[in-house]
Amino acid sequence: MTDRSPDPRPDIDVVLQTALPDDLPPDVEARLDDQVERFLVNRRYAIRGPVAAVTGWLASVRAYVRGGIAARSLHMAASAALVLCGIALHAAGRPGAFAASVDRVKDPVAVWRAIDRAAVMRCGGAATADLGSPAEFAERVYWQWVPLGSTIDATGTTAVLTFRSPRDGAQYRVEVDRRSMLPRRIVKTLPRGSKPTGGGGAYDAVCRWETPGPESGSTPDRSPSVAR
Amino acid sequence: MPENPGDAAVAPACSGQDLVSQTVRADRDAEFARLVLCRQSRMLRTIWRVVRDPDLAQDALQDALVTLWRKLPAIARHPNPDAFVLRVCLDAACDQMRAHLRRRRRDVPLDDLAGSNVAQAAAQEPDVRDEVARAIGRLRPPQATAILLRALHEESYETIARALGCSEVTARVHVLHAREKLRIWLSHLHVPREKRRPDDR
C-alpha cells in the first residue's frame, strides 16, 4: 500500500523539479525581503500606543463575552467601541507617521542582520568586551538598544546611527558602511556622573569584520539542515 | 522586551530548534523575528517555486507571515519548526495559486471562449509551468504540501509527517496519491512508465 521503496527520483518528481526550478529573481527577492522587514517593523512599532492598547483590550473583552442578554449587550458595546477604535487608529496612523517609524528602524534592522551574518568581529579597545560576539552585538542593536536617529554623512557612504542603552543610559554612535551595513566605528559615551558598569567605560573603537564568502549569497539561509 | 535586558538570554542566531524555545521568556516579537529572519531565504524560495509570480508571491508571503505570527506558540512546541514553517509557506503558496486559477477561470471573457482565441491558445506551445501549477492546485491541500516537500525539498517522510502533523504512513500515502494523480494529469509531460529507467520506482 505505502511506498516504502528507496524512492530514487520518480519521474513525476523530476517533472515538478524541472517545471518549478529554484530561480527566485534577485529583484523579486529584494521586494520580498523588504516585505518581511516591513512586516517585522510593523509588528514591533506600528501596533503600539494607547489606542492600540485599548483596541487590544476591547478585542479580548469581546472574545470572552458570550451568552446571556447582559453579556450580549456588553458584547455589542465592545464591538461598537472596537469599530470606533479602528477608525481612530486609522486616523492616528497617518502614512507619514508610519513611514517615519519604518525609516527609524530600517537601518537598525539592516545593521542587525548584517552583524548577525558576520562570522568574526574585531573591535579595538574595550569594545570587544562590551559588545561580545557578533550575535550578542546584533541582539543589542535590535532588541535592547533604543534607536535615537540615523543620518548619512556627506560622502554618502557612511550612515551614522545613534542608540541609547536602557540598561546603563550609555549612548552609542555607530558609523556604518552603507554597502555592507557593518559598523566601522563605535563610540560609546556614558551619561554625566554615571559610573562604568560591567560593560566598561566609554570608548571609541574601530571595527573590522569577516563575513561569509560571496558564494553564500546575499541572503544566506542559515536554517539548520533538517534530518533526512 | 525582558524586564532586565542585561539578563536576557543572548541566543546564538539561527541555532536550530532551540531558536524558538530558548527565547520563550523573551519578547514575542523578538522570537518571531528570529524565527522568520533565520529562515527567510528558504521561505521566499519555497513560495516562489510554487507561485512564480511577484504579486502572488507577495500575497502568499503575507499570508504565511500572518499564519506564523498567529501560530508562534505552537511552533515553539513543534518537534520540527523548520518543517512547520516550510509547510505554512507551501500552504500559503498553494492557496494563492488556487485562488489565482479560480480568478482566471472566472475572468475569461465569453467572447474568448466562443472566438478564435481559444483555438489560437490551443495551437500555442503549452506552458509546462502553468500546467504543473494547475495540477498541484487541483490536489487536496495535504497531498499538495506532501508532494512538494518530497519532490522539491527532498524532505524525508518523517519530516513531512511532522510538518503535516500526521503519521509517517499517512505522509507516504499523501505523496503516493499525489504522484498517482499528477502522473495522470501530467501524463503528456513526463516520461511514460515503460520508458523509465529500471531503477525508477
Report the run of H or E that residue A121 belongs to, with start and end: strand A120-123
Q: How far is CA A168 from CA A105, A175, A201, B4, B117, in A?
A: 21, 21, 11, 11, 71
B chain contacts of residue A33, beta-carbon cutoff 8 Å? 40, 44
- The reply to whether residue A15 touches residue B190, judged by beta carbons under 8 angstroms, is yes
A140 pLDDT more than 70: yes
Q: How far is CA B179 from CA A12, B38, B93, B186, in A?
A: 7, 31, 19, 10
A32 pLDDT more than 70: yes
Q: How far is CA B34 from CA A155, A168, B11, B68, in A?
A: 33, 25, 10, 12
CB atoms within 10 A of CB B23: 22
Amino acid B60: pLDDT: 94
The residue of chain A nearest to residue B81, with distances taken between CA atoms, is A226
Query: Residue A40: which of B33, B52, B201 has the nearest Cβ?
Result: B33
Nearest of A163, A81, A36, A173 to residue B66 by alpha carbon = A36
Residue B141 structural domain: 14-107+127-192
Residue A120 carries which DSSP code?
A: E
Q: pTM of the entire structure?
A: 0.57
ipTM confidence score: 0.73
Amino acid A103: pLDDT: 55
Instruction: Based on the fold, state whether residues A138 and A189 are members of the same structural domain.
Output: yes
Structural domain count of chain B: 1
A chain contacts of residue B175, beta-carbon cutoff 8 Å? 3
Q: Is residue A155 part of a domain?
A: yes
Q: Give the pLDDT band of residue A105 (cuts 50, 70, 90).
A: low
Q: What's the mean pLDDT when you consider all of chain A?
A: 72
**Is the pLDDT higher at B82 or at A167?**
B82
Q: Is residue B7 part of a domain?
A: no
Most B CBs within 10 A among A44, A115, A226, hence the mutation to make, goes to A226
Q: Is residue A181 part of a domain?
A: yes
> In terms of C-beta density within 10 A (0-12 exposed, 13-18 middle, 19 or more buried), how is residue B22 classed?
middle
Q: What is the distance between the alpha carbons of residues B168 and A2, in angstroms, rounded to a whole number?
A: 10
Q: Is residue B121 part of a domain?
A: no
Amino acid A62: pLDDT: 59
Instruction: Based on the fold, state whether residues A125 and A202 are members of the same structural domain.
Output: yes
Query: Residue A31: which of B5, B15, B58 has the nearest Cβ?
Result: B58
Q: Is residue A223 part of a domain?
A: no
CB B151 within 8 A of CB A11: no
A152 pLDDT more than 80: yes
Report the run of H or E that residue B20 belongs to, with start and end: helix B18-21
Q: Is residue A161 part of a domain?
A: yes
Q: Is residue B30 part of a domain?
A: yes
Q: Is residue B55 part of a domain?
A: yes
Dihedral angle over CA of B169, B171, B177, B183, nearest 10:
-120
- The reply to whether residue A9 touches residue B65, judged by beta carbons under 8 angstroms, is no
- One digit per residue, the tens of pLDDT, for chain B of length 201 reads 333 333 333 333 454 444 444 444 346 777 787 788 878 889 999 999 999 899 999 999 999 999 998 888 888 888 888 899 999 999 999 999 888 888 877 665 555 444 444 444 444 445 788 888 888 988 999 999 999 999 998 899 999 999 998 999 999 999 999 999 999 888 877 554 544 444 444
**Residue A55's Cα: distance from chain center in Å?**
24
- The reply to whether residue B57 touches residue A32, judged by beta carbons under 8 angstroms, is yes
| Maximum CA extent, chain B | 71
Query: Residue A143: which of B27, B52, B183 has the nearest Cβ?
Result: B27
Q: What is the distance between the alpha carbons of residues A159 and A103, in angstroms, rounded to a whole number?
A: 13
Q: Is residue A111 part of a domain?
A: no
- The reply to whether residue A4 touches residue B33, judged by beta carbons under 8 angstroms, is no
Instruction: Based on the fold, state whether residues A57 and A138 are members of the same structural domain.
Output: no
Provide, for chain B, the percentages of residues in helix, strand and coil under a 3-state DSSP scheme, each rounded to the nearest 5.
Answer: 70, 0, 30
Average of pLDDT values for A208-221? 56
Q: Is residue B64 part of a domain?
A: yes
A chain contacts of residue B69, beta-carbon cutoff 8 Å? 43
Instruction: Based on the fold, state whether residues A89 and A134 are members of the same structural domain.
Output: no
Amino acid A44: pLDDT: 58
Instruction: Based on the fold, state whether residues A78 and A124 are members of the same structural domain.
Output: no
Residue A135 structural domain: 120-210
Instruction: Based on the fold, state whether residues A38 and A82 are members of the same structural domain.
Output: yes
Q: A residues 113-152 near B, CB within 8 Å?
A: 113, 116, 132-133, 135-136, 138-139, 142-144
Structural domain count of chain A: 2
Instruction: Based on the fold, state whether residues A142 and A206 are members of the same structural domain.
Output: yes
Letter string b/e over residues B61-97, b meaning 16 or more CB atoms within 10 A of that residue's CB: bbbbbebbbeeeeebbebebbbbbbbbbbbbbbbbbb
- The reply to whether residue A224 touches residue B82, judged by beta carbons under 8 angstroms, is yes
CB A134 within 8 A of CB A208: no
Q: Is residue A112 part of a domain?
A: no
Q: Is residue B6 part of a domain?
A: no
Q: B residues 83-142 near A, CB within 8 Å?
A: 83, 128-129, 131-133, 136
Q: Give the pLDDT band of residue A15 (cuts 50, 70, 90).
A: confident
Q: Is residue A20 part of a domain?
A: no
Query: Residue A19: which of B14, B132, B154 has the nearest Cβ?
Result: B132
- The reply to whether residue B38 touches residue A222, judged by beta carbons under 8 angstroms, is yes
Nearest of B63, B50, B68 to residue B92 by alpha carbon = B63
